[in-house]
């Protein structure tokens, strides 16, 4: 349980909260953490990587009229570097680490 809390605390350092939750105190707020902590602890017990799904990740539009080229732009590169760094931080705490599944709806709108 303590390892799960350490992992969740690492993630909570980067969250963005709506105004009604601005006074939330991280791990002490059960309504914000209970569902996540349960899933993290479950992965740890099974000695599997902790899996996250990031919905609506902005992907590169294939429409060449909307983009400057086919390569990722700097914002995309920074985003992916950040996510990789987060996984590396988690791996320092928990050796199986974490994996992030990106779900992009960009193709629908291109």
Task: Please write the tens of the pLDDT for every residue from 35-76.
Answer: 899 999 999 999 999 999 988 777 777 778 878 888 888 888
Find all residues with CB under 8 Å of 67, minimum gap 6, and list them: 60, 61, 73
Among 70, 48, 47, 45, smallest CA distance to 60 is for: 70
Six token digits for residue 108? 């629908």
Q: What pLDDT does residue 66 have? A: 79
Region of residue 97 (phi > 0: left; psi between -120 and 50: alpha; otherwise: beta): left
| Helix, strand, or coil (residue 83) | helix
Q: What's the predicted TM-score (pTM) here?
A: 0.81
pLDDT above 70 for 102 = yes
């Amino acid at each position: 349980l303590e390892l799960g809390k350490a992992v969740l605390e690492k993630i909570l350092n980067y969250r963005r909260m709506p105004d009604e939750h601005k006074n939330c105190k991280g791990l002490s707020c059960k309504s914000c953490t209970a569902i996540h902590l349960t899933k993290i602890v479950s992965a740890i017990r099974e000695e599997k990587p902790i899996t996250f799904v990031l919905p609506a990740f902005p992907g590169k539009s294939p429409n060449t009229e909307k983009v400057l080229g086919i390569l990722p732009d700097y914002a995309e590169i920074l985003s992916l570097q950040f996510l990789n760094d987060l996984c590396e931080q988690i791996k320092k705490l928990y050796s199986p680490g974490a994996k992030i599944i990106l779900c992009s709806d960009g193709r629908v709108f291109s």
